């Protein structure tokens, strides 16, 4: 079932919301501003429902959001060193919005754009679209994007991204949801258990730019090959890209997360080569979340399937280049479960 509503107006246009509800009572709310997942109500043990994604109450808060709550980020999510890259012999300079570097699409990325949206005829999906014009935030080429979100009766939330361009460009949009499977207002996620299906990671410098190395996680705090509490080896924060096992382009499991108290969990499956795991060090009580709840540090964690950070400047990293006539595709499936 899909319910549509108008939340307000922005830039003279209506901002729509779409609420998907399945046979299990799971409810997902999506908003056209930033193509965001703003609510996900999920049952735990005993059937107790909780909203497990961080977010805000009002449209104005999302318009001013600096944390990318639930948004699609891009054109190139994550970081590009010095906001510079070359493509086809041409040098490009992007907006630098994190010190000297480019982050999540720049000053006004996809998270700040108003996407058009429409309910699917199948009664369980929503489709959003946005055209990123040539030169936006410094990127070459017109980029036409389509994002589909579907919730089935087996409690799988599937997000698919497709994009085409009329000039050679780079493309790496991601979904940037923050998860707290105990409930968005329940405190930190350090007791959640997490496994990541990645035997290697890409180390970074002090500005979180990859050094270019690809190292084994064995014997490091980044070893999540066996499930462990997020907080067990945490020293400040995790904000790093894991190299996922398996063949990029094929859908395979990337991670498994579980809140042992409520029993709520999910497996994330994706076709992308990398996964950014971030534990929300920038969150704090100055952020007033849904219901006026102040979020603490580590109030949620993000798992962003992606190309690697700074791939356009690292020839041995998976390519993020998109050419005319080709189609960029990116699929994520959050397969929810309750552990009894």
State the residue for tokens 């929300």: 280
Specify whether the CB–CB gap between 214 and 262 falls below 8 A. Answer: no
Residue 176 known to be catalytic: yes
Structure tokens at 106: 């720049």
Helix (H, G, I), strand (E, B) or coil at 267: strand
User: How many whole angstroms separate alpha carbon 258 and alpha carbon 196?
Assistant: 12
Instruction: Choose, from 136, 137, 304, 333, the residue flagged as catalytic.
Output: 304
Q: 188-223 burial, b if ≥16 CB within 10 A, otherwise e?
A: bbeebbbbbbbebbbebeeebbbeeebeebeeeebb
Residue 304 known to be catalytic: yes
State the residue for tokens 């996407």: 115
Specify whether the CB–CB gap between 289 and 55 falls below 8 A. Answer: yes
State the residue for tokens 């050419």: 323
Q: How far is CA 176 from the centre of its chain?
A: 2
Instruction: Choose, from 176, 192, 298, 330, the residue flagged as catalytic.
Output: 176
Q: How many CB atoms lie within 10 A of CB 162?
A: 15
Pairing of strands 79-80, 102-103: antiparallel
Specify whether the CB–CB gap between 82 and 101 falls below 8 A. Answer: yes
| Catalytic residue set | 176, 304
């Amino acid at each position: 079932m899909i319910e549509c509503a108008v939340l307000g107006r922005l830039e003279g246009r209506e901002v729509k919301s779409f609420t998907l509800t399945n046979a299990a009572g799971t409810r997902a709310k999506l908003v056209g501003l930033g193509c965001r997942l703003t609510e996900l109500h999920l049952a735990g043990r005993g059937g107790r429902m909780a909203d497990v994604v961080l977010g805000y109450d009002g449209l104005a808060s999302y318009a001013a959001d600096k944390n990318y709550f639930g948004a699609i980020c891009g054109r190139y999510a994550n970081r590009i060193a010095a906001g510079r890259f070359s493509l086809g012999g041409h040098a490009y300079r992007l907006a630098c919005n994190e010190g000297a570097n480019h982050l999540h699409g720049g000053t006004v990325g996809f998270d700040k754009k108003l996407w058009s949206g429409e309910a699917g005829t199948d009664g369980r999906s929503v489709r959003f679209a946005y055209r990123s014009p040539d030169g936006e935030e410094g990127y070459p080429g017109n980029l036409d994007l389509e994002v589909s979100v579907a919730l089935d009766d087996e409690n799988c939330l599937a997000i698919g991204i497709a994009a085409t361009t009329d000039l050679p460009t780079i493309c790496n949009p991601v979904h940037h949801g923050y998860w707290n499977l105990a409930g968005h207002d329940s405190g930190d996620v350090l007791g959640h258990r997490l496994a990541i299906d990645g035997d290697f990671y890409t180390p970074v410098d002090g500005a979180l730019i990859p050094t270019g190395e690809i190292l084994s996680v064995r014997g490091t705090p980044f070893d999540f090959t066996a499930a462990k509490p997020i907080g067990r080896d945490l020293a400040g924060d995790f904000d790093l890209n894991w190299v996922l096992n398996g063949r990029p382009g094929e859908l395979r499991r990337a991670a498994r997360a579980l809140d042992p108290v409520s029993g709520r969990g999910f497996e994330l499956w994706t076709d992308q080569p990398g996964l950014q795991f971030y534990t929300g060090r920038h969150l704090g009580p100055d952020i007033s979340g849904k219901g006026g709840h102040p979020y603490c540090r580590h109030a949620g964690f993000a798992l962003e399937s992606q190309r690697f950070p700074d791939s356009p400047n690292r020839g041995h990293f998976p390519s993020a280049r998109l050419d005319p006539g080709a189609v960029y595709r990116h699929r994520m499936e959050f397969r929810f479960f309750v552990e009894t």
